């Protein structure tokens, strides 16, 4: 990977093929579920980004070079796809049909210090459902399910969805008699970095009684792969209307999102999401063996995604960090070009004959290129080999599988390669080792 | 179209579907011809852009907001895909296979004054072929042919390729005994804005004899849809080795790029392309009835796309302005969502049954959404109608084509809609009028 500008990765063709296939799969899944696509401009007014953003998200300001030096920058590159989406919904509210399901895959930019899994330019894939005034909780189930299906089809380490609901935490804390549930949530949110012992001390320092602190930690320990978390919470003996509501919502999400092959779904009551705009369901996702990358896919329910004079627009969504998701992959494909066939050229005078064969193959959807030079056939086969092109066609009517050496007579209007050869294949680590050794 | 920020257009879902289908078609065509995809980062070092760029291309500088005010911007958004590609080729020369065919579709940014067909953020689709040291002229034919096939499949006004070769102009001028052919070319380049009479005066002012000026204008008048331009140039009685070479190259390109249905290919000797880095073939393309948009697709041969210690990298390429191409289109689709089917919900208790039907349809590639609310069936049908979803499924086993009203018994594991309904269809102006009236 060429990374001459730190934090701005660029892929070689074989790497890009893997990324393309991942993006194609995501799009296919989102569209199968009826999500419409939009793109928003790369820039937003600077004040919009600063108003909504957290302080630690470093923004890139954008200014016409021709503008005067003293003129302050008014635009900046977006650092996520949620803020632009909220602005888009408000601007187009009169023309959109609600509930509005959208998927959006675009680059975003953050001036953070680059490290593994953290880039300055990276690709996000977001799905959100937004409604006017009311958004029933079955939409929380839907976004979780769609993202689980999207991840299930990818050649990545097993993803574990960690799902919680802020109503459970807040309701539980209120039921316990805690005065400031938000402050407690922010302390509990540090549980993956700070040991439970320390968290307990911090909670007591915040004015919690010992037994309250113990209950808070007991709640945070609950992780189940089914709806049994409900009984475990109830066993803690705390009661509050908001808690009951949160438990019912989370149970619905866990039930609805489970059962997708290759994806683990957990109710994990440690998850709180530090961001303050979530109001119910919250999601995080980690990859087995790659937990140090952090969550690759996060989101939740925000009851006030946007607001105008006509009312509020509640939403629920998940954002997948595609660039981070690619880190554990081998990022190699069986070939560096889309071509299934290289048509050989006997001599430059007969190049038109080779072009004609290529045209007939393409007419049937078979990606084909013609040799750049009428070199010796051995050289032309090497040319194909280097790129991983599986077949070489010798005009008029002979085609060779250069992996096996099998050569057969064939008609360019009829011959079809096996489906597996039609597009480049993603290599997994073992397969690519095999290729190197053979 | 929401254009709250002038020059930064954003599409509504039905408009975006048209753009998506245009982009999908371009990609399919490029990949059928064996072009590999790459993406480059959005930013380049400012000095690289300013070194290569023309003065009139306004650049957007990019700077971390956290950086000191006095710190000068070092990065800027790219204004085309050619400069980044040249940089990418040099950075990765050791890892790329040459000749290297690549397609690239990305946003670019220019701080120009917005007007019809001119945006500050827009999408370009580029194909280029680059080699090490030598790039035979059949690659000029190839890029023209591929782009002609790419445009042929789109629902746009008839495109006319205007192809010339700078060797013809330069060789002809040298053969005429003109001292500074480049200066003459720059005057001739104004022919589409300035009348021929005035151009003649300008040429004489530059020191040309009357008969030289007449010959220069006679050459610029030659436009043919076949290779007969060769005889017409020869009839002007000027001879030069470079002219002969240019004529042979252009004849090859015109022959190879012609014959694509729906695309007019012309040899047009008025075309010179003001930019100074082209060294042979040059392309422009105009849409019938939309000539005022300017060229939607331009490019040519540059014998020194890039250079390093190991040698030079000659290239030939064409850049298509996708955003400009979309201007003449209706930008409307038969529906605002990918969904083919809306599964109705009888009551909230049976939502799981509707989900199950949807899952079975999706498993066979049929995009499906489930009704948001267990409203009266009439309301649910209206919901589908508003989005243009053609079918409503009533669980367990009845499906209605809501356009015709036909309802049939069906099995979600077997029922398949006609192929034409599988994806949204682009509406042409007449069709969309029909829809409104019916």
H/E stretch holding A343: strand A341-343
For residues B22-27, average pLDDT: 98
For residues B311-326, average pLDDT: 95
Buried b (16+ CB within 10 A) or exposed e, A268-307: bbbbbbeeeebbbbbbbbbbeebeebbbbbbbbbbeebbe
Distance from CA of A185 to the nearest CA of B (A): 29
Which residue in the set B138, B365, B368 is minimally distant from A34, CB to CB? B368
pLDDT at residue A3, as a whole number: 42
Distance CA A255, CA A233 (A): 17
A91: closest chain B residue by CA: B2
Q: A341-422: what fold? A: Rossmann fold (3.40.50)
Distance from CA of A47 to the nearest CA of B (A): 12
A112: closest chain B residue by CA: B64
> Does residue B434 surpass a pLDDT of 60?
no
Contact flag A91-B8 (C-beta cutoff 8 Å):
no
Strands B281-287 and B264-268: unpaired
Which of the residue ranges A38-42, A147-151, A289-293, B24-28 would you say has the lowest mean pLDDT? A289-293
Distance from CA of B36 to the nearest CA of A (A): 5
Crossing angle of helices A210-220 and A181-188, in 10° steps, is 50
Whether the bond between B208 and the residue before it is cis, its omega within 30 degrees of 0, is no
> Does residue B72 surpass a pLDDT of 80?
no
Chain A contacts of B62, Cβ < 8 Å? 60-62, 77
Contact flag B40-A121 (C-beta cutoff 8 Å):
no
For residues B237-255, average pLDDT: 97
Instruction: Tell me the domain boundaries of chain B.
Output: 339-422
Contact flag B43-A337 (C-beta cutoff 8 Å):
no
Contact flag B64-A372 (C-beta cutoff 8 Å):
no
H/E stretch holding B357: helix B351-363
For residues B53-59, average pLDDT: 65
Which of the residue ranges A51-55, A318-322, B396-400 would you say has the lowest mean pLDDT? A51-55
Chain B contacts of A35, Cβ < 8 Å? 337-338
Contact flag B60-A63 (C-beta cutoff 8 Å):
yes
For residues B41-65, average pLDDT: 82
pLDDT at residue B432, as a whole number: 47
- Contact (CB, 8 A) for B402 and B421: no
A364: closest chain B residue by CA: B32
Whether the bond between A99 and the residue before it is cis, its omega within 30 degrees of 0, is yes
> Does residue A316 surpass a pLDDT of 50?
yes
pLDDT at residue B435, as a whole number: 43
Contact flag A65-B63 (C-beta cutoff 8 Å):
no
Distance from CA of B198 to the nearest CA of A (A): 33
pLDDT at residue A317, as a whole number: 97
For residue B58, what pLDDT band results from cuts at 50, 70 and 90? Answer: confident
For residues B394-422, average pLDDT: 97
Q: Residue B209 to residues B186, B202, B333, B397: CA-CA distances in angstroms? A: 17, 11, 58, 85
Contact flag B12-A96 (C-beta cutoff 8 Å):
yes
Q: Is the domain B339-422 a CATH 3.40.50.800 member?
A: yes
pLDDT at residue A200, as a whole number: 95
Instruction: Tell me the per-residue pLDDT of B319-363, one tens digit each, with 9 for 90 and over.
Output: 999 999 999 887 899 999 999 999 999 999 999 999 999 999 999
Instruction: Tell me the per-residue pLDDT of A321-357, one tens digit each, with 9 for 90 and over.
Output: 999 999 988 789 999 999 999 999 999 999 999 999 9
For residue B3, what pLDDT band results from cuts at 50, 70 and 90? Answer: very low
Q: Alpha helix locations (H) across A370-428?
A: 377-387
B73: closest chain A residue by CA: A65
pLDDT at residue A329, as a whole number: 86
pLDDT at residue A71, as a whole number: 76
- Higher-pLDDT residue of B117 and A316 is A316
> Does residue A275 surpass a pLDDT of 70?
no
Distance CA A171, CA A168 (A): 5
pLDDT at residue A116, as a whole number: 79
pLDDT at residue A67, as a whole number: 81
Mutate one of B13, B38, B67, B391 to test the A interface: name it (highest A CB count within 10 A).
B13
- Higher-pLDDT residue of B436 and B259 is B259
Contact flag A337-B121 (C-beta cutoff 8 Å):
no
Helix (H, G, I), strand (E, B) or coil at B375: coil
Contact flag A60-B59 (C-beta cutoff 8 Å):
no
CA B179, B180, B183, B185 torsion: positive or negative?
Answer: positive
pLDDT at residue A400, as a whole number: 98
Q: Which residues contact B196 (CB under 8 A, 6 or more apart)?
A: B217, B220
pLDDT at residue B430, as a whole number: 53
Distance from CA of A91 to the nearest CA of B (A): 7
Mutate one of A29, A33, A74, A111 to test the B interface: name it (highest B CB count within 10 A).
A33
pLDDT at residue B436, as a whole number: 41
Q: Is the domain A13-37+95-325 a CATH 3.30.930.10 member?
A: yes
B335: closest chain A residue by CA: A36
pLDDT at residue A331, as a whole number: 84
Contact flag B77-A62 (C-beta cutoff 8 Å):
yes
Chain B contacts of A91, Cβ < 8 Å? 2, 4
Contact flag B65-A88 (C-beta cutoff 8 Å):
no
> Does residue B169 surpass a pLDDT of 90?
yes
Instruction: Tell me the per-residue pLDDT of A178-210, one tens digit each, with 9 for 90 and over.
Output: 999 989 998 998 888 899 999 999 999 999 999
Contact flag A369-B34 (C-beta cutoff 8 Å):
yes
For residue A154, the 8-state DSSP code is S
Contact flag A35-B362 (C-beta cutoff 8 Å):
no
For residue A309, what pLDDT band results from cuts at 50, 70 and 90? Answer: confident
Mutate one of B1, B8, B10 to test the A interface: name it (highest A CB count within 10 A).
B10
Percentage of residues in chain B having pLDDT higher than 90: 81
Contact flag B39-A73 (C-beta cutoff 8 Å):
no
A87: closest chain B residue by CA: B4
Which residue in the set A33, A77, A362 is minimally distant from B369, CB to CB? A33
Instruction: Tell me the per-residue pLDDT of A5-35, one tens digit each, with 9 for 90 and over.
Output: 889 999 999 999 999 999 999 999 999 999 9
pLDDT at residue B274, as a whole number: 67
Across A137-271, where does the E strand assignment appear? 159-165, 223-224, 264-268
pLDDT at residue B51, as a whole number: 76
Distance from CA of B337 to the nearest CA of A (A): 5
Distance from CA of A292 to the nearest CA of B (A): 26
Distance CA B121, CA B6 (A): 10
Instruction: Tell me the per-residue pLDDT of B370-387, one tens digit each, with 9 for 90 and over.
Output: 999 999 999 999 999 999
- Contact (CB, 8 A) for B361 and B341: yes
For residue B53, what pLDDT band results from cuts at 50, 70 and 90? Answer: low
Instruction: Tell me the per-residue pLDDT of A413-438, one tens digit each, with 9 for 90 and over.
Output: 999 999 999 999 998 765 544 444 43
SS (H, E, C) B195-262: CHHHHHHHHHHCCCCHHHHHHHHHHHCCEECCCCHHHHHHCCCCCCHHHHHHHHHHHHHHHHHCCCCC
CA A214, A220, A223, A229 torsion: positive or negative?
Answer: positive
Chain A contacts of B42, Cβ < 8 Å? 42, 77, 107, 109, 121
Per CATH, A13-37+95-325 and A341-422 having the same topology is answered no
Q: Which residues contact B339 (CB under 8 A, 6 or more apart)?
A: A34, B367, B368, B369, B387, B389
pLDDT at residue B2, as a whole number: 40
* Of B128, B110, B150, B147, residue with least CA distance to B8: B110
**Considering chain A, what is the average pLDDT of its residues?**
92
Which residue in the set A13, A121, A131 is minimally distant from B42, CB to CB? A121
Mutate one of A16, A38, A57, A64 to test the B interface: name it (highest B CB count within 10 A).
A64
For residue A2, what pLDDT band results from cuts at 50, 70 and 90? Answer: very low
For residues B177-206, average pLDDT: 92
> Does residue A396 surpass a pLDDT of 90?
yes
Distance from CA of A337 to the nearest CA of B (A): 5
CA B393, B335, B13, B27 torsion: positive or negative?
Answer: positive
Instruction: Tell me the per-residue pLDDT of A358-373, one tens digit each, with 9 for 90 and over.
Output: 999 999 999 999 999 9
pLDDT at residue A274, as a whole number: 67
> Does residue B418 surpass a pLDDT of 90?
yes
- Could you give the count of Cα atoms lying within 13 Å of A220 in the half-sphere of its Cβ? 25
How many residues comprise chain A? 438
Rounded to two decimals, what is the model's pTM?
0.95
A49: closest chain B residue by CA: B65
Distance CA B265, CA B224 (A): 9
Distance from CA of B207 to the nearest CA of A (A): 37
Percentage of residues in chain A having pLDDT higher than 90: 81
pLDDT at residue B66, as a whole number: 82
For residue A115, the 8-state DSSP code is B
> Does residue A53 surpass a pLDDT of 70?
no
């Amino acid at each position: 990977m060429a990374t001459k500008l730190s934090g701005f990765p660029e892929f070689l063709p074989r790497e890009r093929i893997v990324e393309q296939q991942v993006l194609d799969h995501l799009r296919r899944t989102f569209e199968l579920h009826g999500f419409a696509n939009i793109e928003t401009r790369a820039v937003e007014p600077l004040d919009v980004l600063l108003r909504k953003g957290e302080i630690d998200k470093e923004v890139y300001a954008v200014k016409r070079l021709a503008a005067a030096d003293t003129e302050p920058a008014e635009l900046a590159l977006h650092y996520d796809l949620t803020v632009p989406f909220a602005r888009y919904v408000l601007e187009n509210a009169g023309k959109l049909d609600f509930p509005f399901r959208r998927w959006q895959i675009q680059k975003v930019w953050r001036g953070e210090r680059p490290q593994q899994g953290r880039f300055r330019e990276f690709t996000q894939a977001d799905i959100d459902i937004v409604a006017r005034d009311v958004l029933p909780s079955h939409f929380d189930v839907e976004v979780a399910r769609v993202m689980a299906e999207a991840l299930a089809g990818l050649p990545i380490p097993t993803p574990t969805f960690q799902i919680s609901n802020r109503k459970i935490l807040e309701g539980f804390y209120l039921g316990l008699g805690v005065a400031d549930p938000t402050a407690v949530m922010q302390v509990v949110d540090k549980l993956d970095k700070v040991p439970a012992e320390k968290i307990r001390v911090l909670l007591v320092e915040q004015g919690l009684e010992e037994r309250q602190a113990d209950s808070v930690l007991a709640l945070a320990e609950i992780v189940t792969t089914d709806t049994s978390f409900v009984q475990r919470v109830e066993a803690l003996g705390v009661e509050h209307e908001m808690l009951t509501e949160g438990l019912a919502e989370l149970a619905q999400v866990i039930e609805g999102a489970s059962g997708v092959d290759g994806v683990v779904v957990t109710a994990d009551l440690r998850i709180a999401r530090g961001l303050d705009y979530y109001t119910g369901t919250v999601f995080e996702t980690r990859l087995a063996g790659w937990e140090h990358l952090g969550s690759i896919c996060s989101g939740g329910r925000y009851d006030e995604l946007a607001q105008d004079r006509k009312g509020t627009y509640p939403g629920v969504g998940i954002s997948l960090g595609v660039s981070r998701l690619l880190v554990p992959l081998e990022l190699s494909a069986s070939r560096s070009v889309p071509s299934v066939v290289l048509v050989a050229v006997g001599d430059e005078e007969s190049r038109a004959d080779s072009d004609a064969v290529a045209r007939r193959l393409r007419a049937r959807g078979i990606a084909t290129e013609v040799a750049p030079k009428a070199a010796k056939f051995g050289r032309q086969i090497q040319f194909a080999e280097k790129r991983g092109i599986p077949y070489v066609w010798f005009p008029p009517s002979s085609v060779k599988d250069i992996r096996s050496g099998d050569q057969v007579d064939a008609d360019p209007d009829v011959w079809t390669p096996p489906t597996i050869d039609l597009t480049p294949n993603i290599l997994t680590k073992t397969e690519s080792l095999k290729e190197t050794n053979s």
